[in-house]
Structure 1
């Protein structure tokens, strides 16, 4: 072989080995799906359901990597710092993407600039519930009953700085009610507190509440969103129940994202695979069983929602001087 031809072939060979994996046919290796919460929770279940379906579509395994800690920020930070090659994706919620960073003096990542949204998967309504012993069927009547009790209106939430805490502060400001916020370390403990009468009310996401609502131990009184949830179609919104916060949307949502600067064709493949899974006839029923409403919002709209919601939460946090856990 002529020396120049040999050197050209050698250079092309070396170049091929240095090309990003996506250029050689994405995906040709397992995809790591970071979930910033422990295994067994709602976000984990959603990620595994979606990951299994996307793996079948793309003929490559999606391996869930649970990275809990710091209210979801540890996992989100790990994803933000990962190589933007499409082999690390993130399934995360609005706490770590639009809320918690505003509660920190120093932020280790910037969600709006460090991630490219792929699809907004689903959302879970936040629900005001009371122990059935309160004997009231509407939120207005339940608040009136609680005001006459020794403990007053005590509301348990998953913690300081949570979407539920922020919604509660806004409700207190708009109604003038003397509401006592009682933060817990998660939705589960807040639910248990309402069941045991430790607090009069709980305001948490739907998944841990649904079994107790079905059993009649907890009474659902209102959801914190503009329209009724398909999960609880007979439960009014706060606008319907109290005449306030009609357009406010305080839900917990879950989305699929990749580190920014990921190749556009890789993002497009991930989005197509995700939508194929989410549009299957049985998918909605499987998500409803997890206590979450299917949304299936495209990446561009998801990005706009992140930006507007981040600004709204920032303003509320600053207005009320809300502190994180």
Structure 2
């Protein structure tokens, strides 16, 4: 399996000498066979505030990870800057397996591509461990909104461009790209309002009627629909969502727009092979645990597991795709 590691024994020794990573108490290089050490917790960083889909998914797999690894797993929220604060914390951590994190695209993919963001990391500073879900984007309005179809909403945004506000989870996040795609493809221009701490912050603003349109993911609106707090007008996928079977796709409504957030888990690059193997196996078990899958589906999250190597390849492909459309969401 491909690893983002030094390719020669000399480079590995130099890295250990400089950083001190991978050395045991006696000062010898550690292979990670003793991971995790008894009584030492694993920290799982979530780069967004509690209550959103990223946080919820992490907390659902947490108990299974603890069982598989035989140690405590602590979910730690480090929100801000559209995920950039949390991603910086992940990549700055020692690559010993005791710090891992939830990584979601496009935020983790795009932030290092735009020099104006000042990200201290690139894709190669992460070691992918496994993909969890693909969560399609949606557009929702208030239950009493005058817009009852996607066409009605988009026509209004065409007639009065930049006057209808729409949430995002931060500059160059998934929802920002979705709103930009709508403008590019349908000619309907919304005024994005960025909430850099994540979906829970954006949803709160929508429920408080501070923003007119909730641009979100299926998982963000499933409970809102059940509670009669939102009306979803379209799903940005090729097929209808099992969680929202009555809602048409954008394609059905005549707009060729597909957008989704992919979420998985990663570590700082450079894990010892034995540590990576244990973490990958524990995550695969946790993600595919039948009870976890069922709870995820109840939240509108369809499990779409990929192994570490598959997730790494997927990530590289997304980087190429987002480079091509980055100009749509860059400040002019």
Q: TM-score, normalised by structure 1?
A: 0.81
Task: Give the secondary structure class of the aligned counterpart of 2:66.
Answer: helix
In the alignment of these two chains, the number of paired residues is 305
| Structure 2 residue 31 is the aligned partner of structure 1 residue 31 | no
Check the 8 A contact 1:97/1:306 in 2, yes or no. no
1:187: which partner in 2? Answer: 199
1:232: which partner in 2? Answer: 244
| Structure 2 residue 294 is the aligned partner of structure 1 residue 323 | no
Q: TM-score, normalised by structure 2?
A: 0.80
CA shift, 1:316, in A, is 1.2
1:228-267 residue pairs with structure 2 within 5 A?
A: 228-245=240-257, 248=258, 250-267=259-276
Check the 8 A contact 1:122/1:295 in 2, yes or no. yes
Gap runs ≥5 in structure 1: 1-13
Q: Distance in 2 between matches of 1:108 and 1:272?
A: 29
1:46-195 residue pairs with structure 2 within 5 A?
A: 46-105=57-116, 106-110=118-122, 112-144=123-155, 153-177=164-188, 179-185=189-195, 186-188=198-200, 190-191=202-203, 194-195=206-207
**Greater helix content:** 1
Q: Distance in 1 between matches of 2:229 and 2:149?
A: 15
Larger Rg: 1
TM-aligned CA distance change 1:118 to 1:189, over 3 Å: closer
TM-aligned CA distance change 1:55 to 1:188, over 3 Å: closer
Task: Give the secondary structure class of the aligned counterpart of 1:240.
Answer: coil
Q: Deviations over 1:15-52 (max 9, x none)?
A: 87224555442222322222222344332222222222
Check the 8 A contact 1:122/1:293 in 2, yes or no. yes
TM-aligned CA distance change 1:195 to 1:74, over 3 Å: closer
2:227: which partner in 1? Answer: 215
CA shift, 1:255, in A, is 1.1
